[in-house]
């Protein structure tokens, strides 16, 4: 456990006039689920591509499991699922999986055995049909994603890197993916995934790094990150008609009470203003006559921290959200 799964130190990458990643340093602890968070274009994919030596950093060093990332065989211990997924359309499922495994140095006989197990596990082999002999373009989109996922894990990597794994997944597959991530962690693997969906990250990650405009905004264990952000947040859930809602809304506009509000219609995450008393806030809300379903002092959600730290400029419309 001495060396972290990934150690990035002072990495910078420029593309022509833009700086994609600027002086980035971070450590991914072994055996953790690590979230690389940031709006689109923040440099998440560039960072991941540099870890995998798909592109070379201009400056800085990257270590995987304590070895330089360019060392022979190191990348064979990494499984990678790119954001833009794709497979050879005209190839049979078993052949493409064997190809991907062999590329990682897995001997054919072992690969074949694992392929059978995975195909069964993800029900690509059913009593009616063996999809392993089908060509990729005969598969539904969901099945193709399963095949791609098998290809990522077939060589039993110690480190799994998933770039925006939740994009384009339906709720069932998204749940299956979450289950797999938990399972991988339980098996002692390290999982890094990038996302702009904070809710997923908050539930799954042990530690996170938020980057924006190619620079690290903050990183650390989730608990520490939240601790650092303070605990002067209130979660408020209400019942009531539009009038009651408006009354509550008016209270929350009072900057002496709340310095910032995330208004989600029937749920509010409220950052208390300096010196404001939560009891006072509760009393005023009750006075309006709305039904209070929940009033709780909480640590801020990752989403709140993200909004606060990255700011509106870093988050163009739709780039952060709940998913």
* Residue 34: CB minimum distance to other proteins, A: 18
Q: What is the CA radius of gyration of the chain?
A: 23
User: Which position among 90, 188, 241, 318 is part of the footprint of other proteins (CB under 8 A)?
Assistant: 90
Type and span of the H or E element at 304: helix 302-314
Ranges within 33-52 binding other proteins (CB under 8 A): 49, 52
Find the farthest-apart pair of alpha carbons in the chain and give their distance in angstroms, rounded.
72
261, 281, 291 from 297: Cα distances, Å: 14, 12, 18
Helix, strand or coil for residue 299?
coil
88 binds other proteins (CB under 8 A): yes
Binding to other proteins, residues 263-282 (CB under 8 A): none
Q: Does 100 engage in binding with other proteins (CB under 8 A)?
A: yes
For the purposes of burial, counting CB atoms within 10 Å of the CB of 2, is it exposed (0-12), middle (13-18) or buried (19 or more)?
exposed
CB nearer other proteins, residue 74 or residue 222: 74
Per CB under 8 A, the segment of 2-10, 103-111, 214-222, 248-256 that binds other proteins is 103-111
Select the residue interacting with other proteins from 3, 23, 76, 112 (CB under 8 A): 76
C-alpha–C-alpha distance, residues 321 and 315, integer Å: 10
User: Which of residues 65 and 217 has its CB atom nearest to other proteins in the complex?
Assistant: 65
Contact call for residue 103 and other proteins (CB under 8 A): yes
Report phi then psi at 38, rounded to 5: 165, 160
Q: Both tokens of residue 6?
A: 């990934």
- The nearest distance, CB 94 to other proteins, in angstroms, is 13
- In this structure, the strands spanning 207-212 and 33-37 are parallel
Q: Which is nearer to other proteins, 40 or 227 (CB)?
A: 40
Any contact of residue 114 with other proteins (CB under 8 A)? no
105 touching other proteins, by CB under 8 A: yes
Instruction: Please tell me the distance from the alpha carbon of residue 59 to that of residue 9, in angstroms, as a whole number.
Output: 9
Contact with other proteins (CB under 8 A) among 23, 58, 102, 262: 102
Q: Given the rule CB under 8 A, which residues bind other proteins?
A: 49, 52, 54-55, 75-76, 78, 80, 82, 84-91, 95, 99-100, 102-105, 148, 151
């Amino acid at each position: 456990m001495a060396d972290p799964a990934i150690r990035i130190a002072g990495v910078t990458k420029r593309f022509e006039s833009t700086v994609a990643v600027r002086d980035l340093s971070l450590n991914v602890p072994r055996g953790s689920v690590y979230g690389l968070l940031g709006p689109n274009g923040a440099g998440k994919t560039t960072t991941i591509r540099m870890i995998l030596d798909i592109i070379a950093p201009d400056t800085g060093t990257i270590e995987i499991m304590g070895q330089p990332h360019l060392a022979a065989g190191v990348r064979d211990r990494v499984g990678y699922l790119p954001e833009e997924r794709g497979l050879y359309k005209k190839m049979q499922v078993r052949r493409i999986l064997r190809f991907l495994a062999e590329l990682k140095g897995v001997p054919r006989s072992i690969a074949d055995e694992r392929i059978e197990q995975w195909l069964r596990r993800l029900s690509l082999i059913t009593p009616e049909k063996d999809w392993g002999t089908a060509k990729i373009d005969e598969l539904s989109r969901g099945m193709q994603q399963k095949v791609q996922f098998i290809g990522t894990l077939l060589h039993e990597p110690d480190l799994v890197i998933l770039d925006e794994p939740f994009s384009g997944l339906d709720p069932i597959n998204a749940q299956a993916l979450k289950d797999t991530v938990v399972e991988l962690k339980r098996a002692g693997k390290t999982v890094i995934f990038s996302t702009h969906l904070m809710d997923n990250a908050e539930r799954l990650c042990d530690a996170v790094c938020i980057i924006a405009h190619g620079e690290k905004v903050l990183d650390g264990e989730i608990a520490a990150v939240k601790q650092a952000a303070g605990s002067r947040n209130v979660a408020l859930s209400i019942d009531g008609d539009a009038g009651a809602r408006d009354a509550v809304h008016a209270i929350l506009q009072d900057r002496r009470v709340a310095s910032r509000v995330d208004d989600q219609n029937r749920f509010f995450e409220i950052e208390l203003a300096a010196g404001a008393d939560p009891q006072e806030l509760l009393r005023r809300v009750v006075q309006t006559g709305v039904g209070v379903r929940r009033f709780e002092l909480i640590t801020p959600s990752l989403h709140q921290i993200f909004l606060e730290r990255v700011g509106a400029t870093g988050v163009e419309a739709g780039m952060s959200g709940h998913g």
